Amino acid sequence: MPKVTKKTLNCRGRLVDLSQPVVMGILNATPDSFFADSRIIPDKTATLMAVELAQQMLDQGATFLDIGGYSTRPGAAPVGPAEEADRILPVIESIRANFPDALISIDTFRASVARQAVQSGASVVNDVAGGTLDPAMFETVATLGVPYILMHMRGTPQTMQSLATYTNVTSEVIDELAVRLAELRALGAKDIILDPGFGFAKTPKQNFELLSKLDAFQLFDEPILVGLSRKTTIWKTLNIKADEALNGTTVLNTAALLKGTSILRVHDVREAVEAIKLTQQLTFF
């Protein structure tokens, strides 16, 4: 197992230790995210559903709760910033009211939504576009002073699958992230987490290549987040459906942990926590 430099994240004054991997649970305030069990349907019962799912994930060992209001699955319909904010802000506020110590991440590529979410209680910004879809994002997160998840993607959620052309996917993803990381650091952003962007402008074959070489991303000396949970790469490879992809998710999460991942972003928290506990035992031999 690769040695990972000890990391801490400053989440609005609270230090989160990443010397051992942690789990981020997914809550989608959308009607069309690809995995139905992660959806908090945006209606009058949304906040109740969010509290119940948050309780379950926190009880199972989640360190972060990642809340999104814009489905980024391939071909998903676009949603305006006002509707996105209307979906996520009541959920964030409700979770904060019921679980004051919960660490909430806002999954958005829009600076305005990120700002509103942090003002409502979010502690982390998770940007699937890595700053490419909103030129104000980098300056916004640097000003807010919260950890930022810099993910690799090309194009938009609607066009990304047509842009999965690489000569060497690992080196090109590293090079493209390096440019954006330098921009963030120049603006004074501190706690930055890198996400190679599995499934975003990448084919299943490219995803497997990225995963096999994931330890190469340690050259940045930043924590690595992996989001492979129930994705197309798993269920298409196994010729199953997304709701049957838990076992495959655990297999690939285990591989990611052995390559130095610090954060697993998942739909199924208990299984990810168990994978971490078991892989950590390998460090004793």
| Catalytic residue ranges | 231, 265
Cα–Cα distance measured from residue 239 to residue 253, given in angstroms and rounded to the nearest whole number: 19
| SS3 per residue for 207-228 | HHHHHHCHHHHHHHCCCEEECC
Q: Which two tokens stand for residue 60?
A: 């199972």
Q: Which of 237, 239, 284, 231 is nearest to 256 (CA)?
A: 231
DSSP reduced 3-state for 97? helix
E strands present in 38-160: 64-68, 103-107, 124-127, 148-151
Q: Which amino acid appears at position 198 of this protein?
A: F
Q: Which amino acid appears at position 90 of this protein?
A: P
